[in-house]
Amino acid sequence: MHHPIDPKIDCVFKALLGAESNRALLIHFLNAILGRDLPAPITWVEILNPYNDKEFLDDKLSIVDVKARDARDCLHQIEIQLLINRDLLARILYTWADLYCSQLHSGQDYSALKPTYAIWLLGENLLADSSDYAHDFRLRDAQARPLLDHGGIWLLELNKFHTDQIQTEQERWLKFFKDGEALDSSALPSWMQTPEMTQAMNTLKTFSEKERAYHRYQARQNYLREQRGIQRHLEELRVEAEQERAKAEQERAAKEQALQEKDAAPAEIERLKAQLRDQGRPESGDNGSRGFE
């Protein structure tokens, strides 16, 4: 029986790019995303945290990113994030820095550090001030001069990706992750007619056709839905609390202003009385009559 499978669900995502049997897919994906920014195409990788279906699907706290080392000893991290939260940018930067720093062991010099690349596929929009779907962030100055060419962070916002004319391998992968759940393996569109996409669809079919794998996929999907619901609820509570704090602050400020105006009222009245008295007081030497000319 065929079931639609979303490649963005973390267990499917990691099976696609983190399984030893799909090592060729990972290499192709990395070259598709990073190709123009690499000194040479990647031809070999070691998956540092390979996907294990039993361990992953039975553990709700499984690590869902994919980490790999290529032939130049460069490190790669690939992660899917379906729900955006206010701390995500800090988390993205921290995990890149943590992976970069993990290269040095006791007694090693800084010369041992190698470029580190982080790729994040995002299910929701993160950068509201840009309509572009692809972003790369590296250490550069205002003139775009690199401080050190040691990789960076690539963000791919799937919701902003809109094209039916696939021209690059990067676009092929992004369309697969965005629309993969709606694809029919028996009648694939022309843009899916490549060896890599065929292999990717075979991975989806594994989750679709094997009942045990599919039920585990469903359980994982339901768990992630619950987590997203909880996170959204907490975010709504946070927004409501901030609005209540802002309202309370406005009311407090209004009360303080009213008290200040009340305290200032007697002094203002005395000032106005004095002003009126000064306006009605005769000028010096003026006895109220014009005198004789």
Residue 116: phi and psi, rounded to 5, are -130, 130
Q: What is the pLDDT of residue 292?
A: 42
Q: What is the pLDDT of residue 212?
A: 54
Q: What's the pTM?
A: 0.75
Q: What is the SS3 assignment for 168?
A: coil
What does the alpha-carbon distance between residue 244 and residue 237 come to, in Å, rounded to a whole number? Answer: 10
- Give every residue of the chain whose pLDDT is below 50, as ranges: 1, 288-293
Q: What is the pLDDT of residue 291?
A: 46
What does the alpha-carbon distance between residue 64 and residue 48 come to, in Å, rounded to a whole number? Answer: 12
Q: What is the pLDDT of residue 293?
A: 42
CA of residue 115 relative to chain centroid, distance: 22
Task: Say if strands 45-47 and 66-70 run parallel, antiparallel, or are unpaired.
Answer: antiparallel
Amino acid at 134: A
CB-facing half-sphere around the CA of 143: CA atoms within 13 A: 2
CB-facing half-sphere around the CA of 108: CA atoms within 13 A: 11
What does the alpha-carbon distance between residue 156 and residue 81 come to, in Å, rounded to a whole number? Answer: 10
What does the alpha-carbon distance between residue 36 and residue 216 come to, in Å, rounded to a whole number? Answer: 38
The 8 Å CB, 24+ separation contacts for 113-116 are 113/150, 114/72, 114/73, 114/74, 114/75, 114/150, 115/72, 115/74, 115/75, 115/149, 115/150, 115/151, 116/74, 116/75, 116/76, 116/77, 116/150, 116/151
